[in-house]
A and B are shown apart, each in its own frame.
Chain A
Amino acid sequence: MVIGKFALCCCVLSAPFLSTAQTVPVAPPTESSIAPPVSLVNDDLPSAPEPSEELAQAAQQNQPAQTKPGSPPSLSDLGFTSQQTQANAQLQAMLDRRTHMLKVHQRLGVITLIPMAATVITGPMVGAKGKNGEPITEPSQANLDFHAALGGVTTGLYFTTAYYAMFAPKVPETKRRGAIRYHEALAFIHGPGMIATPILGYMAYKQENAGEKVHGIASAHGAVAWTTVSAYGASIVAVSWPIKLKFWGNQ
Chain B
Amino acid sequence: MNRKFLTAFLLLALPAFSQTGSQWVLLKSSLTYHVTHPMHQIDGVSHAAKGKGTCHAGICDFLIAAPVNTFDTGDSNRDLHMLQVTRGAQFPMIIVRTRLPEAAIPSGAIYADLEVQFAGQTVTYKHVALEKKTNGNEVEITGTIPLKCTDFKLDPPSFLTVPIKNEIPVRVDMTWQRM
Q: Is there contact, CB below 8 Å, between A29 and B112?
A: yes
Chain A interface, >50% SS class? loop
Q: Is there contact, CB below 8 Å, between B92 and A88?
A: yes
Which residues of A in the span 50-103 have a Cβ within 8 Å of any Cβ on B? 51, 56, 67, 69-75, 77-80, 84-89, 91-92, 94-96, 98-99, 102
Select the stretch in B70-78, B136-144, B170-178 that faces chain A. B70-78
- Bound-complex Cα distance A20 to B111 (A): 25
Q: Is there contact, CB below 8 Å, between B100 and A26?
A: yes
Q: Is there contact, CB below 8 Å, between B84 and A22?
A: no
Known: A11-B11, A30-B127, A51-B120. A99 touches B81 (CB 8 A): yes
- Bound-complex Cα distance A19 to B14 (A): 9
Select the stretch in A143-151, A177-185, A222-230 that faces chain B. A177-185
Which residues of B in the span 102-153 have a Cβ within 8 Å of any Cβ on A? 111-113, 115, 117, 120-127, 146, 151
- A171 (CB) vs chain B CBs: closest residue: B80
Among B18, B56, B63, B159, contact of A78 (Cβ-Cβ < 8 Å): B63
Q: Is A35's CB within 8 Å of the partner chain B?
A: yes
Q: Is A245's CB within 8 Å of the partner chain B?
A: yes
A91 surroundings in chain B (CB, below 8 A): 89
- Bound-complex Cα distance A98 to B53 (A): 39
- Bound-complex Cα distance A178 to B40 (A): 14
Q: Is there contact, CB below 8 Å, between B75 and A80?
A: no
- Bound-complex Cα distance A247 to B53 (A): 40
Q: Which range holds the interface residue count of chain A?
A: 35 or more
Among B63, B111, B121, contact of A29 (Cβ-Cβ < 8 Å): B111
Of the candidates A23, A34, A174, the one having the most CB atoms from chain B within 10 angstroms of its own CB is A34
Q: Is there contact, CB below 8 Å, between A69 and B41?
A: no
Cβ distance B166 to chain A, nearest Cβ, rounded Å:
10
Cβ distance B121 to chain A, nearest Cβ, rounded Å:
5
Of the candidates A15, A23, A179, the one having the most CB atoms from chain B within 10 angstroms of its own CB is A15
Q: Is A32's CB within 8 Å of the partner chain B?
A: yes
- Bound-complex Cα distance A11 to B13 (A): 12
Known: A78-B65, A89-B89, A92-B89. A179 touches B75 (CB 8 A): yes
Q: Is there contact, CB below 8 Å, between A72 and B76?
A: no
Of the candidates B57, B73, B78, the one having the most CB atoms from chain A within 10 angstroms of its own CB is B57
Interface bits B49-86 vs A (CB < 8 Å: 1, else 0): 01111101111011101010000011111101101110
Cβ distance A44 to chain B, nearest Cβ, rounded Å:
6
Q: Is there contact, CB below 8 Å, between B126 and A31?
A: yes
Among A32, A56, A171, A239, contact of B127 (Cβ-Cβ < 8 Å): A32
Q: Is there contact, CB below 8 Å, between A12 and B54?
A: no
B23 surroundings in chain A (CB, below 8 A): 67
Q: 6 closest A-B pairs (Cβ-Cβ)? A: A178-B75, A72-B61, A29-B127, A19-B15, A95-B84, A16-B18
Q: Which residues of B line the A interface, CB within 8 A?
A: 7, 10-11, 14-15, 17-19, 21, 23, 36, 38-41, 50-54, 56-59, 61-63, 65, 67, 73-78, 80-81, 83-85, 87-93, 95, 97-101, 111-113, 115, 117, 120-127, 146, 151, 159-160, 165
